[in-house]
């Protein structure tokens, strides 16, 4: 069964191809993803690598955690499931002061 790894502290120049090539040294890489900002398209400095087995994932952690990739020491550990986040309200929601009322303060 495939196992997903979190890779943090990546250089902004690190590509998915670099991640795949690097982790393929310890096993079969099912997928490699660098997370990017939706607006700018720039890397957020972390990504995920999915290895084909638990053993290969463990070897990836042992081999690359704390090691240098593209000039930066990276953190590699088992990826945790994404936690549910509270729904965000749209513009003017919440208590940011954009809503109506309290105009007498101005």
CATH code of the domain containing 41: 3.30.70.330
In a domain, residue 26? The reply is yes
Q: From edge to edge, which strands make up the β-sheet containing 3-8?
A: 29-36, 43-51, 3-8, 75-78
pLDDT digits (tens, 9 = 90+) for 7-46: 999 999 999 999 999 999 999 999 999 999 999 999 999 9
| pLDDT tens-digit series, residues 46-97 | 999 999 999 999 999 999 999 999 999 999 999 988 787 787 766 655 555 5
Dihedral-angle region of residue 65 (phi above 0 means left; psi in -120 to 50 means alpha; beta otherwise): beta
The token duo for 69 is 């990739």
- The whole-angstrom separation of Cα 105 and Cα 90 is 24
| Structural domain includes residue 33 | yes
Structural contact between residues 7 and 49, judged by C-beta atoms closer than 8 angstroms = yes
Determine contact, residues 7/72, Cβ cutoff 8 Å: no
Range of the domain at 66: 3-78
**What 3-state DSSP class applies to 97?**
coil
Say what the pTM is: 0.77
């Amino acid at each position: 069964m495939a196992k997903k790894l979190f890779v943090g502290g990546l250089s902004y120049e690190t590509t998915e191809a670099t991640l795949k090539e690097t982790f393929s040294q310890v096993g079969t890489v099912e997928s490699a993803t660098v997370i990017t900002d939706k607006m700018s398209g720039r890397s957020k400095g972390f990504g995920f690598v999915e290895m084909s087995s638990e053993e290969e994932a463990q070897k990836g952690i042992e081999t690359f955690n704390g090691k240098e990739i593209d000039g930066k020491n990276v953190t590699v550990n088992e990826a945790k499931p994404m936690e549910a986040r509270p729904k965000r309200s749209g513009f003017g929601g919440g208590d940011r002061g954009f809503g109506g009322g309290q105009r007498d303060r101005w």
